Copies of this chain bind each other. A is one copy, B any other.
Amino acid sequence: MTAVNHQFRLAARPVGAPKASDWKYGSEPVGEPKDGEVLLKVLYVSLDPAMRGWMNDAKSYIAPVAIGEVMRALAIGEVVESKHPNFAKGDHVSGLLGVQEYAVVAGAQVNKVDARFAPLPAFLGTLGMPGVTAYFGLLDAGKLQAGDTVVVSGAAGAVGSVVGQIAKLKGARVIGIAGGADKCRTLTDELGFDAAIDYKAEDVKAALARLCPNGINVFFDNVGGDILEAALANLARGARIVICGAISQYNNTTPIKGPANYLSLLVNRATMTGIVVGDYVPRWGEAVRDLAGWVASGQLKRREDVVEGLETFPQTFMKLFSGENNGKLVLKVA
């Protein structure tokens, strides 16, 4: 093959918000698959807040991306050449393909997706990692009950928008916290949330007190910081807090702001649990089956924010932190 593979490799560990120079955009010849491998053309790259954590040299649930390594990312690819019996040219797959145009990976490390069933970007959002995170985070870690008052932060994002809709499906009252009037309108008018709080315009703690007079039963947190504090101040007895992420804190150069009012857990006999979706791999199919059914029946609405051009990766990725995306942020490569 003489084709060229453009790619972003990690060039430096970011201090605070990543900048373009933290990656090196380069090219190399497209690789050759060995036995058991497939050569993939990358079609869509998933941009997720967790990727910011993978850039730090810190103990976490996954090893950091090494300096010089292709930036790690979930993606959807199309099989160009297969040396694995399960895959044929033209198949679509998802996996950790990286921020690049072509990837050579072991067949065991990717999963087929069926493009006849849903548009490919959906497999990076509602039917992919964010959807499965929402599903198990809410139902397993959050122990959702019908009649619960559920609050979700980052509610217009890939995970939050699914959390809120599943909670509605299961008979809960749902309040979303998001930034800006547009996103809040999306939550209430399109996604069926009972109420939305614009954290850029409102006092979140006061709004939660007003909207949750009997307290919060489940708080699904993607944001951390002041919003976590505001939720802790409004818990119901026996509340469950699901810690899925803390996007407000990922670019900190000072220590993370921990919840000063964590003793609300004691006062309210509440629980705070951290989740990592990778732990649910053995039950992945169970979640996708339900999610796909709800999408098919129109009960679960997908929202993808697709930006075109691999070369826009650094600035497009930063939309996650400025909150410019509305729905699952995906980079279209080709």
Contact = CB atoms under 8 A, between A and B. Distances in A.
Contact of A275 (B61, B264, B269): B269
A270 B61 CA distance: 12
A68 interface: no
The winner among A246, A266, A269 for most chain B CB atoms within 10 A is: A266
A269 to B, nearest CB: 6
User: Which secondary structure characterizes the binding site on chain A?
Assistant: loop
6 contacts: A244-B266, A256-B261, A256-B262, A262-B272, A266-B275, A269-B274
A276 interface: yes
B268 A271 contact: no
Given A271-B271, A271-B273, A272-B271, A256 B265 contact: no
Contacts of A256: 260-263
* Identical copies in the complex: 2
A243 interface: yes
Interface of A: 59-61, 224, 243-246, 249, 255-276, 279
Given A256-B260, A265-B272, A271-B273, 5 more contacts: A243-B262, A266-B274, A270-B273, A271-B272, A272-B273
Contact of A262 (B59, B244, B258): B258
Contacts of A61: 266-269
A262 B265 contact: no
Contacts of A245: 266
Contacts of A272: 262, 265, 271-273
Nearest to A241: B272
Contact of A265 (B268, B269, B273): B273
> Would you list the 5 A-B pairs with minimal beta carbon distance, nearest first?
A266-B274, A265-B274, A258-B258, A258-B260, A258-B259
